[in-house]
Chains A and B, each alone.
Chain A
Amino acid sequence: MGFLKKDNFERDAFIGLIVWIFLLIFYFVIPSPGIHDIIQKVFILGLFAMSLNILIGYLGLVAFGHATFFAAGAYTLGLFLQSSIVNNLGSLSIPAAIISAIFISTVLAAFIGAICIRLKDIYFSFLTLAFQMLIYSIILALVSITGGDQGLMGGFPKPPFLGIDLGKPFDFYAFTIFISIITIVLLRQLIESPFGYGLRMIRDNPDRPAALGFNNQRHKLIAFIIAGSIAGLAGSLQALLDVGAYPEWAFWAKSAEPLFMILLGGMHSFLGPLMGAFIFEILNDFVTANTRYYGLVLGLVILSFVLGLRRGLLDWLLIKFYRK
């Protein structure tokens, strides 16, 4: 087990496996559907927030339209499974639907990203917002395909594959967390690679890399595309969970959610956004159970983080107990 001492991919994969097994055991130890639901949602939203944090935390670009890709993944998956392709593919449908969802959001991110990364600062943010709202308007307008403001209704089949039946709560729980953990481990590899450090360089000093012979724009675009594809994956998992897709997922307010998670958990720690998703979900669950005024509570919490702690919880903990 010597490889565990080093910070490398094998170690991360091993830790990921342990966490997964732990959460599977947890499922049976605490047999509460409510808690299982929270955990799988934390992972789905965590993926969404972590993908955005590639841009915000590591690249320093405030993208304000990230839900575009979340929605693209969700609608692609839903439309795929509602189509007649399912009859032909049979048990391969779910994997094929997820792959298509990732593919479509990747293509969309490549297109939108190529245009957006040419702009800086607030202009970049506004262009991502504009594209998001354009996509939102298109979803609302294409009633015959997307169901317009009703969303993708009528459900879709979830044919079992490789012995996994996503209709069963345990299978869904195990599958979602497994996919999420794999993605997180791969994402950590990306962030800790020379490519990932290139992102930090651009964030710290966007002017200097060119004088080192290094192409900023291409780096930014690749990061944008990867972030979009992971958001698409998160969206497809959300659509599988809710058996549908809704236009609100493409509305600008949905793009604010991962921002909250990043703020709550911390943008400078790799797992910060995941922790943020956890806080966000717990808050959501706890507050909505006790009051109708969820926005008020969430608003006050965010305000206290912005003005009080001034950084996310994980960032704060790491600074306090780990780094000096």
Chain B
Amino acid sequence: MEIFALFDCIITPACLISQTAGGLKIGMLLFLVASGLTLVFGVLGVINFAHGALYMLGAYFSWQVMSITGHFGLAVISGAIGVGIFGLIFERLLINKVYNSDLLVQILLCYSVILILDDLVMIIWGDEFLSGIGVPEVFQVPPLFIFDAIIPPFHIAIIVISMIVALLLWIIMTKTKFGKLVRATAVNPRMLEALGINTNVIKAGVFMLGSFLAGLGGALAASLGSVVSGMGNSIIIESFIVTVIGGMGSISGAFLASIIIGMARSFGAVAMPLFTDGIMFLIMVLVLVMKPEGLMGKKK
């Protein structure tokens, strides 16, 4: 463990700023994906293990649209919407059959979907790494220098986009009628049905929204790195960590936890390069042991 490297970094403005920006970028991308996961769990009570596979699909979809149209914005948006629609079909065909099943059945159903999708994308797009969709032209400019810290403008764009999505999500959940219905569905779906509201539509809508967020995360990830089958298998575990730390079902908790994990990864890479992942799991263990309901979760 290189604890001195960490100290050196914290007292050097360039390192501190670049690591903080890096941590925010990681954290905010993670939030996009994890917020969908925690939303689906909070309302539907399903741990969607296949959420990472949806993220991967988002990357492939946007790659496909990019290679046809060459338009970055269109590629990202269609990646997200495409996965949203895919999620809707997934929910109607499969997920809704296991709402009342036990945890094991839900896990196995989702895991089988991961296995299937991981192979399907290989069949369709080949098993080679696809180079990502890259950074749009506007951002292909020299990086910013803040106190000698090198910060690519596109990273700032990603942080801003994610923040906007977080804000929109917050508005949807707290200020709109849909949000009220969603929250009511999470608490007492029978009551809503008695009032003549079709909760199946709401559930499908929530799942679609969750999938959209996974797809958006995947599409943006495709701009930063390459696209490959199985790329969802580590983001899903990170999303679980965020969901658990923040409190299962809590979107604001996921926001906080995403930043914590982003920073832990970013600064952990300086302090313990070989154990960066270990730090996250250590935090997850500590939270589960000391406060199982998570930082912002409701105590049962």
Chains A and B touch (C-beta atoms under 8 A apart): yes
- A-side residues, CB < 8 A to B, are 56, 62, 64, 115, 119, 121-123, 125-127, 129-131, 133-134, 136-138, 140-141, 143, 148, 252-253, 256, 259-260, 263, 292-296, 298-300, 302-303, 306-307
B278 lies within 8 A of A138 (CB) = yes
A122 lies within 8 A of B248 (CB) = yes
Main secondary structure of the interface of A (DSSP, over half): helix
Closest 10 pairs (CB-CB, A-B):
A137-B278, A299-B115, A299-B116, A296-B119, A295-B115, A302-B112, A134-B281, A141-B274, A130-B284, A299-B112
Q: Which of B98, B116, B285, B292 makes the CB contact (< 8 A) with A131? A: B285
B103 lies within 8 A of A306 (CB) = no
Main secondary structure of the interface of B (DSSP, over half): helix
Specify the chain A residue showing the minimal Cβ separation from B274: A141
Distance between A49 CB and nearest chain B CB, rounded to angstroms: 13
Q: Which of A129, A131, A143 makes the CB contact (< 8 A) with B240? A: A129
Q: Which of B112, B237, B289 makes the CB contact (< 8 A) with A127? A: B289
A295 lies within 8 A of B107 (CB) = no
Asked if B47 CB lies within 8 Å of chain A CBs, one says yes
Distance between A119 CB and nearest chain B CB, rounded to angstroms: 6
Residues on B with beta carbons closer than 8 Å to the beta carbon of A62: 102-104, 107
B285 lies within 8 A of A130 (CB) = yes
Q: Kindly name the residue among B94, B116, B120 whose own CB sees the greatest number of chain A CB atoms within 10 A.
A: B116
Residues on B with beta carbons closer than 8 Å to the beta carbon of A298: 112, 115
Distance between B152 CB and nearest chain A CB, rounded to angstroms: 28
Asked if B288 CB lies within 8 Å of chain A CBs, one says yes
Knowing A62-B107, A122-B103, A306-B108 touch, does A134 contact B115 (C-beta < 8 A)? Answer: no
Total contacting residues, chain B, CB less than 8 A = 40
Specify the chain A residue showing the minimal Cβ separation from B273: A141
Residues on A with beta carbons closer than 8 Å to the beta carbon of B103: 62, 121-122, 125
A56 lies within 8 A of B104 (CB) = yes
Bound state CA distance, A129 and B281, in angstroms? 9
A307 lies within 8 A of B115 (CB) = no
Residues on A with beta carbons closer than 8 Å to the beta carbon of B292: 119, 123, 127
B90-104 near A? 1/0 per residue, CB < 8 Å: 000010011000111
Residues on B with beta carbons closer than 8 Å to the beta carbon of A148: 274
Q: Can you name 5 extra interface pairs (CB under 8 A) apart from A294-B119, A307-B97?
A: A119-B288, A123-B292, A137-B278, A298-B115, A299-B116
A307 lies within 8 A of B94 (CB) = yes
Specify the chain B residue showing the minimal Cβ separation from A142: B274
Bound state CA distance, A131 and B285, in angstroms? 7
Bound state CA distance, A263 and B47, in angstroms? 18
Q: Which of B113, B233, B241, B278 makes the CB contact (< 8 A) with A299? A: B113
A300 lies within 8 A of B278 (CB) = no
5 contacts between A and B (CB under 8 A): A122-B248, A127-B292, A130-B281, A295-B115, A298-B112
Asked if B244 CB lies within 8 Å of chain A CBs, one says yes
Knowing A133-B237, A259-B108 touch, does A123 contact B288 (C-beta < 8 A)? Answer: yes
B107 lies within 8 A of A303 (CB) = no
Asked if B201 CB lies within 8 Å of chain A CBs, one says no
Residues on A with beta carbons closer than 8 Å to the beta carbon of B240: 126, 129
Bound state CA distance, A162 and B288, in angstroms? 48
Residues on A with beta carbons closer than 8 Å to the beta carbon of B47: 122
Residues on B with beta carbons closer than 8 Å to the beta carbon of A292: 122
Asked if B114 CB lies within 8 Å of chain A CBs, one says yes
Q: Kindly name the residue among A119, A123, A137, A256 whose own CB sees the greatest number of chain B CB atoms within 10 A.
A: A137
Bound state CA distance, A140 and B273, in angstroms? 11
Specify the chain B residue showing the minimal Cβ separation from A303: B112
Residues on A with beta carbons closer than 8 Å to the beta carbon of B172: none
Distance between B110 CB and nearest chain A CB, rounded to angstroms: 10
Bound state CA distance, A122 and B284, in angstroms? 14
Bound state CA distance, A256 and B120, in angstroms? 20
